[in-house]
Structure 1
Amino acid sequence: MRTIRFLLVKEFKQIFRNKAMLLIIFVLPLIQLLILSNAASYEVKNSKFAIVDLDHSSYSRALIQKFEASSQFDFMGLFSSEKIAKEQMQQGKIDVVLYIPVHFERSFQKEKKGSLLTTINAINGSAAAVENMYVNAILKDFNKTIQVDFMGAEASLQPKQLHIDTLFWFNPELNYKTFMVPGILVLLVTMVALFLAGMNIVREKELGTLEQINVTPIKKHQFIIGKLLPFWIIGMFELAVGLVIARLIFDVPMVGNFGLLFLFASVYLLVILGIGMFISNFTDTQQQAMFLSWFFAVIFILMSGLFTPIESMPAWAQVLTEANPVKYFVEVVRMVMLKGASLLDIMPQLIKLSIYALLINTLAVWSYKKVN
């Protein structure tokens, strides 16, 4: 223990003397949390909307007023022809165009039905799907208005509609930050632990001090603990600070037990630090370690369910995510913070991650060459 204590003192002195490392550890993650949590949004706002009205009737004017009053769209006005609308969309000035055909009102009055055409810029497929839902919701409300206000007594003869009440659990306000902030917090803790752990050991190789340490009486396990434990402590500190920011700035609910969250994080950091050390054992420069760490980090993050649901991935990709430690931490952070999950609820993820930690650290220790 005395040897490990001296190694820890040495590591912390090196960390606090390195101003660039201090910036990476304490400043950049907090800035990233503040920026990414506001920028990474599933909401679709300020879509540019226009209408081509070829009917010029009371019905079409009522429909135009509905869209003008909508908060989901920026209403850009009326176009006189379909050709002009297509040109505007081609130039990227319009995202959604609604076409109201000739005899739109007459069709409703005589045939009790009408048709409309919506053209949506679908380069971003997910945004187009959301915009389509917005349009359909407004049209549904307009349809009810027509039945009540325009058809009068005839509307009362229509069949009764089923009324549905919807309850939103765990995120009643449907605030995307409530969903994204816990995941981004996982991302920052992962990046700090993975990059710094790997690069710190490789830095010893570049400076030539690793060979000097290897010929000392320091045991392999003592050296590894002394190298990785400081970043384990820093990772836990980053998580604590991130949780405070999530609560005070983003008002993310904290329903679950903090002790449970830190318990899982302690095992998770062992996995990430083990991966960082394993990478450092097969690289000779910090640049190599950074590139290799970034390669794995991108795969882990994109396949973690942080930005896209794992259920939407192909079957083979869902199988691969079982080997992704970030996936388990993202799941557990959201479960504990938003659902108030108990130890029993997260036990499957905790068992898998514990096995993962044992395997990857065994490989990392085995692959580390200590001349002794």
Structure 2
Amino acid sequence: MRTDLPRRLALLVGHNTTLRLRDPGHLISYLVMPMVLMLVFSPLYRAALPRGGEAQAVIGMLVMFSVLSLSVVGTALLTERTWRTWNRMRVTPVSVVEMLIGKALPVFVLLVVQQTILIVFGAQVVDMPVAGSFALILSAVCVWSFALLAIGVALAGVVRSHGELAAVCDVGALTVSALGGALTPIAMMPAWAQAVAPASPGYWAVTMLKAAVAGEADAVARAALVLVAVGAVAGVLACIRIGRGLKELQG
């Protein structure tokens, strides 16, 4: 059985990669829209923030639309329930962890590519200064993508329909982004918002990605530890929830 593990994972990843590539609409829109908003809002941020305005425009839009991508992550799992194929997969030798990896890995790669393109666009078109190394920025992008994937999978194990998932993702994305400083720098937010901001994963994502672009490795490491912990907890909860079966969630 263990010797079949690489083959099973390869089949699952290949199958789910095909599914994602056949329906790229959401990821394309979450790539184009932040580019447009970066161009529109960068003069405003540059005027309000003589130092760091470009980074605020680029990283803020990147974080907001990457959180919106939670719907893509959740849909990858929720579709199996809509097609009534999840329980069929559960009677195969494939474990819950293998199924989650097969579903999540293609979306993880797409999220990393999406965010990397947005950072390159911000540097080349919006003139965001980049002092950090490629390895530091890529590691920060990977950590944030991991946290998003884990949260998205956990949500997919709780919600009952695509409409419910969309509502949770949309409201949650705006809340997480706003409180995290993606739309307005933390220093300009009301006192109560500054106090609760660290409770938002978006806060640590904005902090980590800004630090990565600025080349501040210590700040990247501190924020990354928080996001890895958030992702680990969400991932464990997702495995427990899905491992119990999803029949009770149908109907």
Q: Does 1:13 align with 2:14?
A: no
1:36 partner letter: L
**What 5-or-longer segments of structure 1 have no aligned partner?**
45-71, 73-129, 131-167
TM-score w.r.t. structure 1 length? 0.59
Q: How does 1:136-215 map to 2 (within 5 A)?
A: 170-171=51-52, 176-192=53-69, 194-215=70-91
Q: Which has the higher contact order (CA 8 A, sep 6+)?
A: 2
CA displacement at 1:39 relative to structure 2: 2.6
Aligned to 2:199: 323
Q: Does 1:272 align with 2:125?
A: no
Aligned to 1:65: none
1:32 partner letter: M
1:180 partner letter: A
Structure 1 Cα separation of the partners of residues 219 and 79 of structure 2: 41
1:364 to 235, 238, 247: 238
Structure 2 Cα separation of the partners of residues 244 and 312 of structure 1: 27
1:363 partner letter: L
Structure 1 Cα separation of the partners of residues 143 and 42 of structure 2: 30
Q: How does 1:294-309 map to 2 (within 5 A)?
A: 294-309=170-185
Q: 1:359 to 1:39 in 2, by over 3 A?
A: same
Structure 2 Cα separation of the partners of residues 195 and 311 of structure 1: 30
Aligned length: 239
Structure 1 Cα separation of the partners of residues 42 and 122 of structure 2: 16
User: Which has the larger Rg?
Assistant: 1
2:21 partner letter: F
CA displacement at 1:308 relative to structure 2: 2.1
The structure carrying a bigger helix percent of its residues is 2
2:241 partner letter: S
1:187 partner letter: M
Q: 1:221 to 1:189 in 2, by over 3 A?
A: same
Q: Which moved more, 1:249-258 or 1:317-326?
A: 317-326
CA displacement at 1:219 relative to structure 2: 0.4
Identity of aligned residues (%): 21
Secondary structure in structure 2 of the residue aligned to 1:368: helix
Structure 2 Cα separation of the partners of residues 309 and 247 of structure 1: 19
Aligned to 2:3: none
Root-mean-square deviation (Å): 2.4
2:36 partner letter: I
TM-score w.r.t. structure 2 length? 0.86
